[in-house]
Chains A and B, each alone.
Chain A
Amino acid sequence: MQFLFKTAYTDDIRFLARTGEKIRVALVVILLLAAPFMLQDYYLAELGLLLVYAIAGIGLMTLTGHTGLVSFGHAAFLGIGAYTHSILLSKGVPFTISLLITVSFSAAVGMLIGRSASKMFGFYMAIATLAFGILIETVFGEWSSLTGGHQGLAVPDLIVFGLPLAKAWQQYYLDLVLTLLVIWGASNLFRTPTGRSFLAVRDSELSARCLGVNVEWAKIQAFGVSAAITGLAGALLAHHLSYLVPEVFGVLESLKLMLMIVVGGMGSILGAVFGAIFVSILPVALSFLKDVLPASIGQTAGLEPLLFGLIIVIVIVFEPLGIYGRWMKLRFFFESFPYYRKSSYVRQKSYLKTDRMR
């Protein structure tokens, strides 16, 4: 068992305090950097897609996991990112500028939604964001002069600073750099006042307000940050899809994002990454299952949504903190070996809080 002795205040700020953590993170980064040398183009593209979903997951996690605001229409921001970026690129705007405009625009739309949503609670917010998602999908479908409608929109080639990134490994490195940037930035956010005010709003709006947090503004900011990150993921996703149709950014995609953060583990950035790994592996496992299962079951339409729903239910019942929760337990098991007991992580119920101010 390792004890952590803190001797300076910087020790509280540091991300990776333990040696084990440092080694694990370094190992993962090295593996990710080395991936193009080990994987074929197909798997490399899949890995890039996984990273893009990790970014989108962190976007939704900021809102739902850290600020406690539910969004069932988050694929809309993915779509806004993808379409804005592609349209700007096709108008001849350079990649970096287009990316900046896309992220800002996404954030602006997010803050606009956040402004209305900051006055809502629970179910009402879920319904409102769901409606927003459907609305945006319809806009993509109907505004054909700009988005190409249901015919689709071809995404221009990936050219960064005049350098065409046509190879799979080049695109992969772009995804990787931006993913690391988002993970680093989001982690920063939660060790500084902005992120802490989000956590405060999630756990008790009442005392957040009495400690000087402008709750409505914090919610608007959370929507803004979340939409910006998801919009960035959308822009990167566009280059992976290379052809945009509205249906891609529908309700099912929003559900997929929600599944990601629930299965990954609410309230942690690592959880969003775990979730992205999970949803990327699921279709592969599913296609494998389809071959094994008898045709009457394996070929049934709607098998994927059914599995999505089933997995969400199972996770909520048995492991509310998702894969991240499992990971914490596993870590604790090894750190405290051989003292781990079955009851080490039994959940406590508390009846201290009231919501009577609402």
Chain B
Amino acid sequence: MSVAKTLSVRNLSIEFGGVHAVEDISFDVAPGETFAIIGPNGAGKSTIFNLISRLYTPTAGTMHYGEQDLLRLPAHKIVHAGIGRTFQNIELFEHATVLQNLMVGRHSHMRANPFLNFAFLPGVRKSEIEHRRKVEDIIDFLEIAQYREQKISDLSYGARKNVELARALCTEPTLLLLDEPASGLNNEETDDVSFWLDDIKHDLGITIVMVEHDMNLVGQVADRVMAINNGRLLAIGTPDEVRNDVEVQRAYLGVAA
């Protein structure tokens, strides 16, 4: 597995027809760090994720992951740079099984040659089994063995969240973007997520950037927090610093400080 690198974002901005969704935001995420992005609804948190994933192209600014200039990569090459992600609204392949979903997670590491695949040559079989083994490691890690053969459309919301995390891990990322990993989960499940995030960070050595509303979870797992509102940066610092920041309190509570 390759080593985590520094994600550095400089003066990132994007406009949608006059709406400044993200404006002049800069931050660094150090290797091995857990970095949380918080902010009220519509603050531009997910937009930042979509910019890093290259689903959107910024109107200004630069993004580098290690030496790699992310703006030079198309969206489907981002995963090759070692950046995996999950989505706020769970984007699994609904009519496929859990196993198939996870195997698509291995796509960036496999060769997809239609001719070889059509004939299912011995090399293809070997690679399938090899990647199947890697998938099984992730299944063990997240304890989703009981769902292996099930279709996504038959799974509960919580299980889908886990499967999506598993699929992102299957890409062997060094940087993981998690869009609200605990939204819609009950307290117990949120605790599980917190443990897993810890394991992902310490056992797998993956840098985590997450968008999250649950401040307890953020306080538990995040090393640093960035608060944004209306696409602008409010504060960056440790969870406590950000919590006590006047600007942040004003954005969340609307009080005149």
List residues of A whose CB falls within 8 A of some B CB.
Answer: 9-10, 12-13, 185-186, 188-189, 191-197, 199-200, 202-204, 206-215, 221, 224-225, 267, 348, 350, 352-354, 357
Contacts and interface: CB of A to CB of B under 8 A. Distances in A.
Contacts of B84: 210
A353 B164 CA distance: 13
Contacts of B153: 348, 350
A214 B90 CA distance: 20
B91 A207 contact: yes
Of A186, A202, A210, the most chain B CB neighbours within 10 A belong to: A210
B255 interface: no
B155 to A, nearest CB: 10
Given A212-B107, A213-B107, A192 B128 contact: yes
Contacts of B32: none
Contacts of A202: 93, 95
A227 B133 CA distance: 34
Nearest to A203: B93
A321 to B, nearest CB: 10
A149 B76 CA distance: 46
Contact of B167 (A192, A211, A357): A211
B55 A192 contact: no
10 contacts: A9-B132, A12-B99, A192-B117, A196-B107, A200-B93, A206-B55, A210-B85, A211-B105, A212-B80, A212-B107
Interface in B58-113: 74-80, 84-85, 87, 89-96, 99-100, 103-105, 107-108, 110-113
Nearest to B77: A212
A194 B128 contact: no
A211 B104 contact: yes
Given A203-B92, A267-B95, A353-B89, 20 more contacts: A9-B133, A12-B99, A12-B132, A192-B120, A192-B124, A192-B128, A196-B100, A196-B103, A199-B95, A199-B96, A200-B93, A200-B107, A203-B96, A206-B55, A210-B78, A210-B84, A211-B108, A212-B108, A213-B104, A357-B55
Contacts, number: 129
Nearest to A215: B76
A224 B114 CA distance: 10
Interface residues of B, number: 49
A195 B103 CA distance: 11
B89 A354 contact: yes
B118 interface: yes
B92 A189 contact: no
Contact of B94 (A203, A214, A224): A203
A306 B28 CA distance: 64
Contact of B93 (A191, A207, A212, A214): A207
Contact of A195 (B50, B87, B94, B117): B117
A354 B1 CA distance: 33
Contacts of A196: 96, 100, 103-104, 107
A76 B121 CA distance: 32
B164 to A, nearest CB: 8
Given A200-B93, A212-B80, A194 B113 contact: yes
B125 A204 contact: no
Nearest to B114: A194
A214 B76 contact: yes
> A-B pairs with the 5 shortest C-beta distances?
A212-B108, A193-B112, A203-B93, A192-B117, A207-B91
**Chain B contact residues: helix, strand, loop or mixed:** helix
Contacts of B171: 211-212
**Chain A contact residues: helix, strand, loop or mixed:** helix
A210 B75 contact: yes
A100 to B, nearest CB: 13
B157 interface: yes
B119 interface: yes
Contacts of A224: 114
B257 interface: no
A176 B189 CA distance: 54
B53 interface: yes
B256 interface: no
Given A12-B99, A189-B118, A210-B75, A352 B89 contact: yes
Of A199, A200, A202, A353, the most chain B CB neighbours within 10 A belong to: A200
A168 to B, nearest CB: 30
B19 interface: no
A99 to B, nearest CB: 16
B52 to A, nearest CB: 10
A214 B73 CA distance: 12
B100 A199 contact: yes
Contacts of B79: 210-212
Contacts of B90: 352-353
Contacts of A208: 93, 104
B94 to A, nearest CB: 5
Interface in B99-156: 99-100, 103-105, 107-108, 110-114, 117-120, 124-125, 128-129, 132-133, 136, 153
Contacts of B94: 203-204, 350, 353
A207 B128 contact: no
A218 to B, nearest CB: 8
Contacts of A197: 104, 107, 112
Nearest to A224: B114
A353 B94 CA distance: 10
Of A191, A197, A212, A350, the most chain B CB neighbours within 10 A belong to: A212
B143 to A, nearest CB: 18
Contact of A13 (B118, B129, B157): B129
B92 A204 contact: yes
